[in-house]
Amino acid sequence: MSTFQAPKGTYDLTPPRSATFLAVREAISAPLRDSGYGYIETPGFENVELFARGVGESTDIVTKEMYTLTTKGGDQLALRPEGTASVLRAALEANLHKAGNLPVKLWYSGSYYRYERPQAGRYRHFSQVGAEAIGTEDPVLDAELIILADQAYRSLGLRQFRILLNSLGDKECRPVYREALQTFLRDLDLDEETRRRIEINPLRVLDDKRADVQKQLTDAPKLRDYLCDACKAYHEEVRALITAAGVVFEDDEKLVRGLDYYTRTTFEFVHDGLGSQSAVGGGGRYDGLSEMIGGPELPSVGWALGVDRTVLALEAEGVELDLPATTSVYAVPLGEEARRVLFGVVTELRRAGIAADFAFGGRGLKGAMKSANRSGARYTLVAGERDLAEGVVQLKDMESGEQTAVPLTEAAAELAKRFG
């Protein structure tokens, strides 16, 4: 074993399990690509201020969980703890919102970093696929994103997830609710840190997972009672649209999410098979974030779905993804001449788009055939001196066990026909 190991709270993705992660990324991004979302990639680190302003100074992410560093030039940088602020920054910098086609619809995939206490389903380095629709205030957009996430999960075979939905109001009605909530919370028996949070972002107190806090919140004022008419109408429209699409959801008036930038629609995908870390993804509308980071007014909505969390949810449900074999044809040469000739056939197959591999290292027939079996290849090509003298290779069907001699010059064409 090597002296070095992956840092605490991180993981390496290695075959064969990595194939599941790739399939999950593909399944989540496929509905987005089919719905007008273009791919965007941003740096793994950004200016600290981007997250302090965008995600929120009072959030656990900014106060406790960001990996920060000072460069040799004295710049304060942070490894990205989430995707939305980076994507919006990149879209503003590239002036995508000025191209005349709003909303700007973007999807992304990558690794994110938070210094958290590692536990099952929660890592310090994690993978997400996300989507953002920037520059348009329209309940149809909110509904579209919720429906596309639902579609992605269902295409993977997940069934036991739930969608929680809430509205956080807007800059008109939320301040009124915030004040009522603060008045209520100040009278509770809470620790010093939570009392500080009451003054900075009281909605986050509702999200506190501790039982002794939750018990005191039973009679807390309800946000829905404070929503202005415009926010009520907007939320009802989102609910009606996703209901009409056959997507089942639950209203959850305590759902606030852990980021300060959300307004109006907020939602979370949870899976009860994951224990305390039940969220597999979530998102919402963030109409004021662009202005928070120095941009123009650009109402937007988006989500991020955890790839690692989704894989855990699949395992919890016992869902086995139908992953194609990485190798279709495996070549087994017996002798030096056969190595040269069969490697030529393998190269020809690869150029024709057929996944082919080779028994490297000059192993004997028995060991090479074991490798062929492990590769999952449908066919093996075997050739020794006698075969070459006769101008043939042996083509073995690994499913039926049937073996036939095929002219060497026709081997690639014969396999192309079988896979055609």
Helix (H, G, I), strand (E, B) or coil at 262: coil
* Residue 275 reports pLDDT greater than 80: no
Confidence of residue 27 (pLDDT cuts 50, 70, 90): very high
Cβ neighbours for 186, distance < 8 A, ≥ 6 positions apart: 195, 198
Strand 161-167 to 263-271 pairing: antiparallel
Residue 371 has what pLDDT?
94
Going along the chain from its start, the domains and CATH numbers come out as 17-173+227-317 (3.30.930.10), 329-419 (3.40.50.800)
Angle subtended at Cα 182 by Cα 290 and Cα 230, rounded to the nearest 5 degrees: 50
| pLDDT the model gives residue 58 | 58
Q: Which residue has the tokens 């449908």?
A: 378
Q: Is the pLDDT of residue 260 over 80?
A: no
How much is the pLDDT for 274?
83
Q: Model's pTM, two decimal places?
A: 0.89
Q: What whole-number distance in Å separates Cα of residue 2 and Cα of residue 15?
A: 19
67: tokens are 């990996």
Q: Characterize the bridge pairing of strands 356-358 and 329-333.
A: parallel
Q: Using an 8 Å Cβ cutoff, are 245 and 143 in contact?
A: yes
Cβ atoms of 267 and 148 within 8 Å: the answer is no
Q: What are the backbone angles phi and psi of residue 333, rounded to the nearest 5°? A: -90, 145
With a cut of 70, say whether residue 201 has pLDDT above it: yes
- Above 80 in pLDDT, residue 345? yes
Distance between CA atoms of residues 160 and 317, nearest Å = 7
| Average pLDDT value for residue range 154-182 | 92
Q: What burial class does residue 391 get, using C-beta atoms within 10 Å of its C-beta: 0-12 exposed, 13-18 middle, 19+ buried?
A: exposed
pLDDT for 1 beyond 70 = no
Closest CA relative to residue 149, chosen from 288, 245, 21: 245
Q: Which single residue is written with the structure tokens 């399939």?
A: 23
Helix, strand, coil percent content, the chain, rounded in steps of 5:
40, 20, 35
202/198 Cα distance (integer angstroms) = 4
Pair of tokens at residue 150: 């639902």
What is the residue-wise DSSP string for 138-153? -HHHHHHHHHHHHHHH
Query: What does the pLDDT average to over 148-166?
Result: 96
Of the two residues 216 and 31, the one the predictor is more confident about is 31
Number of other residues whose CB lies within 10 A of the CB of residue 287: 19
Alpha-carbon torsion, ordered 401, 406, 412, 415, to 10 deg: -30
User: Residue 330: exposed, middle, or buried by beta-carbon count in 10 A (0-12, 13-18, 19+)?
Assistant: buried
Phi/psi for 398 (5° steps) reads: -75, -15
The Cβ of residue 36 has, within 10 Å, a number of other Cβ atoms equal to 12
- pLDDT value at position 57? 63
pLDDT at 59 over 90: no
pLDDT of residue 121: 66
> Other C-beta atoms within 10 Å of 128: how many?
22
The DSSP secondary-structure symbol of 96 reads G
What pLDDT does 258 receive?
Answer: 59
User: In the prediction, which pLDDT does 372 show?
Assistant: 94
Asked whether the beta carbons of 104 and 300 are under 8 A apart, the reply is: no
Say yes or no to pLDDT of 228 above 80.
Answer: yes
Please report the pLDDT score of residue 223 as a whole number.
85
Q: Is 142 left (phi over 0), alpha (psi -120 to 50) or beta?
A: alpha
Q: Are 415 and 353 in contact (CB under 8 A)?
A: no
Please state, rounded to an integer, the average pLDDT across all residues of the chain: 91
330 Cβ contact list (under 8 Å, min separation 6): 356, 357, 358, 359, 371, 372, 375, 377, 379, 380, 381
Residue 406: what pLDDT?
Answer: 95
Look at residue 259 in the predicted model and tell me its pLDDT.
63
Residue holding tokens 């603060």? 182
User: What percentage of the chain carries pLDDT values higher than 70?
Assistant: 96
Instruction: Work out the end-to-end distance of the chain between its first and last CA atoms, rounded to an integer number of angstroms.
Output: 44
Q: Is the pLDDT of residue 39 over 90?
A: yes
pLDDT digits (tens, 9 = 90+) for 366-415: 999 999 999 999 999 999 999 999 999 999 999 999 999 999 999 999 99
Amino acid identity of residue 328, one-letter, is S
Contact 104, 74 (CB under 8 A): no
Q: Decide: 74 and 36 in contact? Cβ < 8 Å.
A: no
* Residue whose token pair is 């056969």: 338
